[in-house]
């Protein structure tokens, strides 16, 4: 379980969350709503494409609120261990991930420039916000481009120049330069 700090008081995230599929983000902000719990990795289809398997859970907390500058948004906190395939050894390894992101709501891409520093934009549509998608998006962003198991060493640091390799082999067409047409 993750212990999150909220106003100096520790509380524990519930194991069985009641995370709605779709919410009105503006109503969640005015109600200062918080959702916390666990989601299985197997429920995240887009994330699963980059994983070795979907064993495990994500512990999360979503806090909808406005800051001092009246920016509406959601703070996404998540912790999990992602099973990945090492690109050096092709072995499965576990990659620990901890996310703490502030997402500012925007309704148009032009609004992104108005967000203060420290906020990532979250483009909303008329249908509402899918909280599980916000968590999944942040986990996808946390995936390494080339997963490498910690402790593995590079196989070869430098490639031999192609010129060096070619100069050691006889050229099979060298005999043709003496042929006259």
Q: Which string of DSSP letters, residue by residue, matches 114-143?
A: GSPTT-EEEE-BTTBB-HHHHHHHHHHHHS
In a domain, 138, yes or no: yes
Pick from 143, 124, 119: nearest CA to 46: 143
pLDDT at 1: 40
In a domain, 150, yes or no: yes
Report d(CA 121, CA 4) in Å as an integer: 23
pLDDT at 48: 95
Taken in order 125, 130, 134, 136, the sign of the CA dihedral is: negative
In a domain, 67, yes or no: yes
Strand partners, 129: 23
pLDDT at 167: 61
How far is Cα of residue 102 from the mean position of the Cα atoms in its chain?
14
Strand partners, 6: 9
Strand partners, 99: 78
In a domain, 28, yes or no: yes
Per-residue pLDDT for the chain (181 aa), expressed as one digit of tens each? 444 444 333 344 444 357 999 999 999 999 999 999 999 999 999 999 999 999 999 999 999 999 988 999 999 999 999 999 999 999 999 999 999 999 999 999 999 999 999 999 999 999 999 999 999 999 999 999 999 998 887 666 666 665 565 566 777 787 787 777 6
Domain of residue 7 covers 3-156
What total number of domains does the chain contain? 1
Contact between 77 and 2 under an 8 Å Cβ cutoff? The reply is: yes
Report d(CA 45, CA 23) in Å as an integer: 20
In a domain, 173, yes or no: no
Report d(CA 24, CA 5) in Å as an integer: 25
Look at the pTM and tell me if it is higher than 0.85. Answer: no
């Amino acid at each position: 379980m993750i212990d999150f700090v909220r106003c100096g008081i520790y509380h524990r995230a519930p194991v069985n969350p009641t995370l709605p599929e779709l919410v009105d983000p503006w109503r969640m902000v005015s109600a200062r709503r918080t959702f916390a719990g666990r989601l299985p990795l197997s429920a995240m289809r887009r994330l699963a494409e980059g994983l070795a398997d979907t064993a495990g859970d994500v512990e999360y907390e979503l806090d909808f609120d406005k800051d001092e500058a009246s920016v509406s948004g959601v703070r996404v906190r998540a912790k999990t261990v992602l099973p990945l395939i090492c690109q050096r050894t092709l072995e499965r390894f576990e990659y620990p991930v901890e996310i703490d992101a502030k997402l500012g709501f925007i309704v148009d891409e032009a609004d992104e420039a108005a967000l203060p520093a420290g906020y990532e934009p979250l483009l909303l549509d008329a249908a509402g916000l899918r909280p599980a998608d916000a968590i999944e998006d942040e986990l996808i962003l946390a995936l390494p481009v080339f997963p490498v198991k910690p402790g593995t060493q590079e196989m070869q640091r430098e490639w031999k120049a192609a010129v060096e390799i070619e100069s050691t082999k006889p050229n099979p067409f060298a005999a043709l330069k003496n042929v006259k047409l």
